[in-house]
Structure 1
Amino acid sequence: MSNPPSILVVDDQVDNLKLLFSALKPDYRVRVANSGAEALDLLRSFPAPDLFLLDIMMPEMDGYALCQRLKTIPAASETPVIFLTARDRPEDEERGFEVGAVDYVTKPVNPRLVRARIKAQLALAAQLRQARRAVQASNKLVARVARERDDQQTQNASLAREIAEREKAEAALRESQARFARLTSQLADRLFFFTNAPAGELLFVTEGFKRLLGGLTPEDAIGLSWRNLAEWSPESLANVIDESRRWLRLGREKARFELCFRHPDDDWRRLEIHAYRIFDQEREQELIEGIALDVTEQRALDARLRTLARAVEQAPVTITMTDLNGDILYVNPHFTRLSGFSQEEVRGENSRLLKSGKHDDDFYRAMWDTLLRGETWRGELINKNKQGQLYWVEAAISPVFDEQGEVQNYVAVKQDIKDRKELESIKEDVERIMRHDLKTPLNVVINVPDLLLMDDSLSGEFREDIELIRESGRRMLEMIELSLDLFKMETGQLRVSANPIDLMPIVKDVCASVAQPLTRKQLRLTMLRNDQPLPVEIATAGERRPVMVPANARLLASMLGNLLTNAVEASPPGETIHLAIQEHDGVELQLCNRGAVPAAMRPCFFEKYRTHGKTSGTGLGTYSAKLMADTMGFELTMTTSDVEDRTCLLLRIPPVATAE
């Protein structure tokens, strides 16, 4: 009995490893590792498994990074990877598929579901391998056999027509026969040639006969009726007999049959017979020659393709196939249910049929630019159904390439996200209400201390406490206002007027706000202005020239505070943070700290809720800073270097005179 498939389970939680090991052990050979490094060590010591089951959230090397490493190892690059994690956000799943995973299962673990997913992916991987081998072998086989047979017929015809060149023709015939013998010998496990009399008596057969049918040798089979050569299935035997009689009666030259037989190994196999009629000069009678091809694997592949077709037909998402112009070639039934259009109504129509008018030309131009680069476009679309109603879908549109690597078609997979959009709308309404309602009680916190401070009998200690309450209320109000500004920026509702303000006092306040974190981590902060050292305390306005920039003071202070705080948190203890201000055609502010941004974080450094290595990080600092910079018309970029172990943020502020 062959060994069961092998699985490598990687998870840093021992309980999860025990659970998965117990669930999979009855059916598979299971190895476990509690880290990405241990998994890579196992691959160096043992053969690659048939499937990887990876947890995503692991220290040092997470599941995404491990998956990317596995795809670079030749022995494991084609092995399917299934992610098993508590993360269930769409972007997490999307990233999993981008790094090479084939499936994504969320925790808590359902052993039955995990086994089913594993079984399906192992079966699919095996089917794909067999399918590719079967198609390639079958195509090559038919081409070679036809070519060699044609060569032989050409030589035979030349022999009959050119008696004067008999010796040359005979030599060519012998060579052709030798090639034919080599061909039939090399392909004996895939086909055999035969010749028989009209009554069924076998007159000639090549050596592949025994290999495919598994019974008699060619010598023993000569003289027997083909009906007695194997245990044919009654249904296929009756069908071939009827078709043969009709073929001979009608006088057709060629025929094609299919026979099913039981092999001595006790499994059922299929032969595809291509037969044609010839007249034998020596026997002075008509004979039947042909070729028998083993199509067992091909028929199994056909069955799997039919299964795949049924899966597409029954998929709970819309699947659309178009030509290069976007004209619809195929839609599945779910498309009809969601759009209201029947398959007959949309076939041949352009996909613009679903256009809602809610997306501008730039949106569609960006989509087509992605597709024309041969890449997959992903995004959300508003479509219009047959009744004119609008609906949201999450779409992935991909090019389909032919054997030469040329784009042949486009396939679009769309999922209805109406419920999700309604929830997002409700969430936005709730957040807007909360921001508004919090401001009313804060007015009391801010105004009442002003009334209390009018009492001259208050002691100094009470006055300090009341002023602290008033200042805390004002700071909270500023935070709410900033939160509201961020919400407006995200939704495109905030309009900022850029007024000329002095950058230096804001820089001074921001530096003062991180004084304690700098001290706790033993960090130094150095400042340069036009390549000249500048004290962190910064001289008063009367003692230095202002640096005027077009900005909103509150947004600018919050943005610089977020960037400097991020630099402090990212810097190793005892290092130096460098802040440089350069005045030339506007203002450039560069903030550099020791430590390179992790590779996984670099593409999404300014994205929302992205953080790395922080126990209390929200992932909003750099995101909000970039959002405020864009709103004020600034340019904020990040560069990082593993060699120098350094990260720099560069803020470019336009001149006051040319600011919009």
Structure 2
Amino acid sequence: MPNQTTTIRSSAEDLSLQRAVLSTERHLCELLDAIPDNVMLLNENRQILYANKTLEQFCAAHGVFGLIGLRIGEAFSCQNANCAVEGCGNAEPCNLCGALDASLIALRGQPSSFECQILRNSRRGPDALDLRVSGTPLHWKSGPAVLLVASDISHVKRRQVLERLFFHDTLNTAGTINQIAEMLMHGILDFEAAKQDLWQASQMLVREIRGQSQLFAAENEELRVEFGLVLVRELLESVAALFRNNEAGLGKRVVIKEETAGLLLLSDNALLTRVLGNLLKNALEASHPGEVVTLGCRREETDIVLWCHNEGVLTREVQMQIFRRSFSTKGSGRGIGTYSIKLLSEKYLQGKVELVSTPQTGTLFTLTFPIAPRQENPVAP
């Protein structure tokens, strides 16, 4: 449970008094405004007493104004900031927040620095923000305070993940094509025996490159959505076929529930295939040989619900971080698949992604989409 340091908030009167003291520190405010990073001065209850111009401009660009009295998660529109009555720092996922750690440690008198991954509620859907948050303790006339610097390192994290994916996944697939080509060159394989494997490997290489291109466009709000009629059963069968001979699916079985027959959805088939492909790949990689991964779909009034189930269980810590861009259960620099599922589904396909994982039920991801979505592109101009 959160301690008193995180739950108490200063009254408007106390904030006004602290701001009055700060107003006498004109040179300090000018110095903070000259810093090109997001800088804020927090009081003993982690509420903003002063935000420099860089931070004000950043938050204003994302529809947040009037920062005085807010906490860092509220200023950055963190999805968890309003999950608890007491506000930022009090929801269960906040126990893993680097910005909260930096603030609390600095209030105890020690400087600190942590990475912080925030999934934000922006005006155009979910948006990932990676920060390096540094907290420095201050002691001044109105009591203990924290100088918090939040440097945006999203571009660094994005590059690291994309580089890792390129050098790992794409290079592995290209290596498979090269091996088949060498075996053909040396007469070890004949073309008839190799052509199916060669075709599948080349298809996977194209999908991986196209997927990274789509994600790059999505994060830069340049992705175009082309809505058309999607036959759900055919969609699920085509996604399952992608992994029939894939390494992730070896020794595992993919089952498609029968009730999917006859269901229709208006959506972008290519993006939906990408979303379900990432979902199925994650489920297969989390499964053991002999286990079953199930795909299904059902209609709920004006929505279509697609789902993917596997027998494994995610820890609570993983569940709280799984949709963050830089988080992965596969090791450093591998996180992007589950984040892209949420990004494409909620920001572009007008859907909603949910997760339930328990020892009793296994792991179930559900994707809910309107049968008849808005026809205008929700993001791109």
Paired position in structure 1 for 2:350: 633
Q: Find the partner of 1:507 among 236, 243, 247.
A: 236
Distance apart, 1:635 and its partner CA: 0.8
Give the Cα–Cα distance (whole angstroms) in 1 for the partners of residues 148 and 234 of structure 2.
52
Paired position in structure 1 for 2:269: 553
Aligned 8 A contact 1:323 1:410 in 2: no
1:327 aligns with 2:16: no
Give the Cα–Cα distance (whole angstroms) in 1 for the partners of residues 273 and 215 of structure 2.
14
Distance apart, 1:639 and its partner CA: 0.8
Paired position in structure 2 for 1:575: 291
Gap change, CA 1:520 and 1:633, over 3 Å in 2: same
Aligned 8 A contact 1:586 1:655 in 2: yes
User: The residue matched to 1:626 in structure 2 has which SS?
Assistant: helix
Give the Cα–Cα distance (whole angstroms) in 2 for the partners of residues 337 and 522 of structure 1.
60
Distance apart, 1:586 and its partner CA: 2.3
Paired position in structure 2 for 1:650: 366
1:484 aligns with 2:213: yes
Paired position in structure 2 for 1:414: 148
**Structure possessing the higher relative contact order (Cα contacts under 8 Å, 6 or more residues apart):** 2
User: The residue matched to 1:357 in structure 2 has which SS?
Assistant: helix
Aligned 8 A contact 2:135 2:149 in 1: no
Aligned 8 A contact 2:286 2:312 in 1: yes
Distance apart, 1:552 and its partner CA: 2.0
Distance apart, 1:367 and its partner CA: 8.1
Q: Find the partner of 1:599 among 310, 313, 316.
A: 316
Give the Cα–Cα distance (whole angstroms) in 2 for the partners of residues 334 and 397 of structure 1.
15
Give the Cα–Cα distance (whole angstroms) in 1 for the partners of residues 324 and 158 of structure 2.
23
Aligned 8 A contact 2:312 2:362 in 1: yes
Distance apart, 1:657 and its partner CA: 6.0
Distance apart, 1:482 and its partner CA: 1.8
Distance apart, 1:500 and its partner CA: 2.2
Give 5+ residue unaligned stretches, structure 2. 7-12, 36-48, 75-85, 90-98, 101-115, 118-130, 178-188, 377-381
Amino acid at match of 2:57: G
Give the Cα–Cα distance (whole angstroms) in 1 for the partners of residues 147 and 375 of structure 2.
44
TM-score, scaled to structure 2: 0.55
Give the Cα–Cα distance (whole angstroms) in 2 for the partners of residues 518 and 489 of structure 1.
26
Gap change, CA 1:486 and 1:414, over 3 Å in 2: same
User: The residue matched to 1:525 in structure 2 has which SS?
Assistant: strand
Q: Deviations over 1:513-566 (max 9, x none)?
A: 333468743546351416xxxxxxxxxxxxx63x32222222211211111122
1:354 aligns with 2:84: no
Q: Find the partner of 2:278 among 562, 576, 593.
A: 562
Q: Deviations over 1:290-328 (max 9, x none)?
A: xxxxxxxxxxxxxxxxxxxxxxxxxxxxxxxx9514725
Give the Cα–Cα distance (whole angstroms) in 1 for the partners of residues 286 and 365 of structure 2.
13
Residues 607-618 of structure 1 aligned to structure 2 (within 5 Å): 607-612=324-329, 614=330, 618=334
Amino acid at match of 1:491: N
Residues 162-311 of structure 1 aligned to structure 2 (within 5 Å): none
Gap change, CA 1:616 and 1:465, over 3 Å in 2: farther
Kindly, what percent of the aligned residue pairs are identical? Answer: 18
Distance apart, 1:574 and its partner CA: 3.3
Gap change, CA 1:626 and 1:333, over 3 Å in 2: same
Paired position in structure 1 for 2:226: 497
- Structure with higher Rg: it is 1
Q: Deviations over 1:430-452 (max 9, x none)?
A: 98xx9xxx9xxx9xx9xxxxxxx
Of 322-331 and 579-588, deviating more is 322-331
Give the Cα–Cα distance (whole angstroms) in 1 for the partners of residues 374 and 158 of structure 2.
41
Distance apart, 1:474 and its partner CA: 5.3
Aligned 8 A contact 1:564 1:591 in 2: yes
Aligned 8 A contact 1:397 1:410 in 2: no
Amino acid at match of 1:527: K
Give the Cα–Cα distance (whole angstroms) in 1 for the partners of residues 200 and 253 of structure 2.
28
Give the Cα–Cα distance (whole angstroms) in 2 for the partners of residues 606 and 472 of structure 1.
28
Amino acid at match of 1:413: L
Distance apart, 1:490 and its partner CA: 2.0
Amino acid at match of 1:637: E
Amino acid at match of 1:651: L
Gap change, CA 1:374 and 1:561, over 3 Å in 2: closer
Distance apart, 1:337 and its partner CA: 4.5
Give the Cα–Cα distance (whole angstroms) in 1 for the partners of residues 344 and 290 of structure 2.
31
Paired position in structure 2 for 1:363: 64
Residues 399-548 of structure 1 aligned to structure 2 (within 5 Å): 411-415=145-149, 417=151, 424=156, 462=191, 472-473=201-202, 475-516=204-245, 520-523=250-253, 525-529=255-259, 545=262, 547-548=263-264
Gap change, CA 1:329 and 1:650, over 3 Å in 2: same
User: The residue matched to 1:649 in structure 2 has which SS?
Assistant: strand
TM-score, scaled to structure 1: 0.34
Paired position in structure 1 for 2:337: 621
Aligned 8 A contact 2:236 2:256 in 1: no
Paired position in structure 1 for 2:180: none
Give the Cα–Cα distance (whole angstroms) in 2 for the partners of residues 393 and 332 of structure 1.
27
Distance apart, 1:495 and its partner CA: 3.0
Alignment length (residue pairs): 275
Give the Cα–Cα distance (whole angstroms) in 1 for the partners of residues 67 and 362 of structure 2.
34
